[in-house]
Structure 1
Amino acid sequence: MPVYSMTGYASALRRPLQNPDSPPLPQLGVELRSVNGRFLDLTLKLGEEFRHLEPQLRERVAQAIRRGKLELRLGSAREEEEAFPCPQDSVLERLQSLQSRLIEHFPQARPLSVQEVLHWSRQGGASPSWDEAWVLKLVEDALDGLREARAREGARLVAILLEKIEALKQLADRAEPLVPAVVARHQQRFLDRWQEALGQAGALAHAELSEAARDRALSEAAAQAIRIDVAEELARLRAHLDEITAQLNKGGELGKRLDFLIQELHREANTLGSKSTALELSNISVEMKVLIEQMREQVQNIE
């Protein structure tokens, strides 16, 4: 199943088939734009003749799109050849009759200009009669185009996320061998300082407390090792990365789940940085957080 981005654009422009004896209908245009959003937020911008279709349009959009801020425009296309309509004879005769009557009462009134005749011809013309099933099919075709556009963008996002996941795994591989050496070095530093403190207490005190001091020092060193050991954090980070990879391969509606997993990655990287007593691990933690933040930005666009 593909992964869909919430960002996409699609349009459809078509003229309906009709009886040659009927007045020609203009082309009908549908335009769809979507960006990321927590839920489905649909805005409809419809021509007056399509207002009654709003419930059906909302239902069809909800069936095709789950999340995102989406705008749907539906209306007659304004083509150049339609900017200058061909007025019907009945409309021209009515305009001429109205002009004659007005001039009888207002002789100083000027005649209608060509521009005014064209304008009033548009206003006075009958609204086109659209076949509802044909209009809804046109909208569905545009929705199919939007889904395809969102799927293409989703595939690009998946490729970016997999690249970031691989980079994070490489950082974890760099950090893992450093952990035992860092722990051992920290333990030894602690024991050295403990011995130094005992030495400053005096020879007598050192003789009386040497056995107890040694046990206490070993216990404290072990506790320090547990506090700075980040092996568990690295293991959890790898597990989260594997789960994200599995979800991306599975596809479908996974944006919210990925967002939660990204938060968990942030938690492990932050803990790695806070526990670190070595510059090497601190630098790795910073690099991880940069990559995770870049992943979060991409996940925000996934449906």
Structure 2
Amino acid sequence: MIYSMTGYGRAECQGGEISCVVEIRSVNNRFMDVSARLPKRFNCFSDTVKKGLKKSFSRGSFDVSVSFNGGENGSEPYLKPNIELAKQYLHSVETLKRELNLEGGVTLDSLLSLKDILFCERVEEDVEACKGILEETLGQAVHALKEMRAAEGEAISLDIAARLEGIRKRAENIKSQQARIIQDYRDRLAERIKLLAEEANVDPGRIAQEAAIFAERADITEEITRLECHIDQVKNHLAQGGTIGRKLDFILQEMNREANTLLSKVPDYSCSNEAIEIKCELEKMREQIQNIE
């Protein structure tokens, strides 16, 4: 099986009062690049996310978003009254009233205006528990991403296989016309010599010699053979699967060189057109292969 480098995976897991959501988006990249976005208090898990992805993938650019919810509103700060401090304030006020013979009482407004009567407190989740939930959620998101990448990879594989067969047929068509091309050249050469020499006798041996030279220059047997060999190589790699993107890219570069040679050797319009179509198909395949892991 081959994998595309484009995909999306999402997972959500619950652990006690804490839930974790992981979203992964991936696109093609020559290398492995991971960007992880986590809440500040969980930045310590950034390496956990990156290692988890590098264990499962070899190429691609990954954007990972992690969020936690639950556990006292996801550990967001909340206001809490300082009861002990309020009691101390009240006790001090009562002492002042008694010792100085003062009148008046303490209202809620006056109490709330005092420093540190209300304060923010954050309940910290159990770090190890959160890490365990993150690893579980990340694993499920990676699995979902793999499934999408595999589905797209299968579609790319089928498309490439179909184009390969089209290239093979065009190459065979060029090969089948080689004898006709040489004979056409021989006929045109003889006609040209007759015109130049008017009605002079034409040496059949000279025509045969020129035709032989042309046949040697226009021989495309090796190019067709190598092209067919490369087609078989690509199909074998597709069947084997795995991380084959770079291998296929190299093979297609070689196929393009053979197509260029074919184009330069065949003077016939129909064969030249076939060679051009081969190059166009190779370009479309290279675009597809750029997205294979």
TM-score (norm 2): 0.79
Aligned residue number for residue 94 of structure 2: none
Task: Indicate which of 238, 243, 248 corresponds to 2:233.
Answer: 243
Quick one: structure 1 residues 100 and 33, their matched pair in 2 at CA, closer, same or farther if it must change by over 3 Å?
farther
Question: Are 2:54 and 1:55 equivalent residues in the alignment?
Answer: no
Gaps of 5+ in 2: 87-107
- Cα deviation, 1:104-163, whole Å, max 9, x if unaligned, reads 69xxxxxxxxxxxxxx99x64323334123322221222122222211111111111111
Specify whether residues 124 and 266 from structure 1 end up closer, same or farther in structure 2 by C-alpha distance, changes over 3 A only.
Answer: same
Distance 2:194 2:233 in 1: 47
- Identify which range, 50-59 or 250-259, moves more after superposition: 50-59
User: Which amino acid in the other structure matches residue 186 of structure 2?
Assistant: Q
Counterpart of 1:129 in structure 2 is 126
Q: Aligned pair 1:93/2:81, yes or no?
A: yes
Equivalent of residue 39 in structure 1, options 28, 31, 40: 31
* Amino acid across the alignment from 2:66: L
Residue ranges of structure 1 left out of the alignment (5+ in a row): 18-23, 106-119
Q: What secondary structure is seen at the aligned counterpart in 1 of 2:223?
A: helix
**What is the 5 A alignment of 1:1-303?**
2-17=1-16, 24-25=17-18, 27-77=19-69, 91-94=79-82, 100=110, 103=113, 124-130=121-127, 131=129, 132-197=131-196, 199=197, 217-303=207-293
Q: Secondary structure at the match of 2:15?
A: coil
Q: 1:104 to 1:133 in 2, by over 3 A?
A: closer
The structure with the larger Rg is: 2
Name the SS for the 1:6 alignment partner: coil
How many angstroms does 1:34 deviate by?
0.5
| Change over 3 Å in CA distance of 1:296–1:77 after alignment to 2 | farther
Aligned match of 2:97: none
Supply the distance in 2 between the matched residues of 1:144 and 1:232 (Cα, whole angstroms). 45
CA contact (8 A) 2:20 2:133 kept: no
- Is the contact between residue 31 and residue 59 of structure 2 (CA under 8 Å) also seen in structure 1? yes
CA distance in 2, matches of 1:233, 1:34: 38
Instruction: State the identity as a percent.
Output: 30
Q: Structure 2: how far apart are the matches of 1:8 and 1:74?
A: 17
**Contact kept? 1:179, 1:231, Cα under 8 Å:** no
Q: Deviations over 1:87-117 (max 9, x none)?
A: 97xx34259x797556469xxxxxxxxxxxx
Amino acid at match of 1:156: A
Task: Quote the offset at 1:46 in angstroms.
Answer: 1.4
Could you tell me the TM-score, scaled by structure 1's length? 0.77
Q: Deviation per CA, 1:239-270, whole angstroms, max 9, x where unpaired?
A: 11111111100111100010011112212222
Distance 1:216 1:94, change over 3 A: farther
Over 3 Å counting, the alpha-carbon distance change for 1:99 and 1:259 in structure 2 is: farther
Give CA-to-partner distance per residue, 1:40-72, whole Å, 9 cap, x none: 111111112221122232222111110011111
**2:20–2:67 contact (8 Å) kept in structure 1:** yes
Cα distance in structure 2, aligned partners of 1:187 and 1:71: 64
- Deviation for aligned residue 1:277: 1.2
Partners of 1:187 and 1:225 within 8 A in 2? no
Contact 1:44/1:73 (CA < 8 Å) preserved in 2?
yes
Question: What CA distance in whole angstroms lies between the structure 2 residues aligned with 1:290 and 1:43?
Answer: 36
Partner secondary structure for residue 34 of structure 1: strand
**Greater share of strand:** 2
Residue 195 of structure 1: how far off its partner (Å):
4.5
Decide whether aligned partners of structure 1 residues 70 and 214 sit closer, same or farther in structure 2, where only a CA change above 3 A counts.
Answer: same
Residue 109 of structure 1 is matched in structure 2 by none
CA RMSD of aligned residues (A): 3.2
Q: Alignment partner of 1:176: what SS?
A: helix
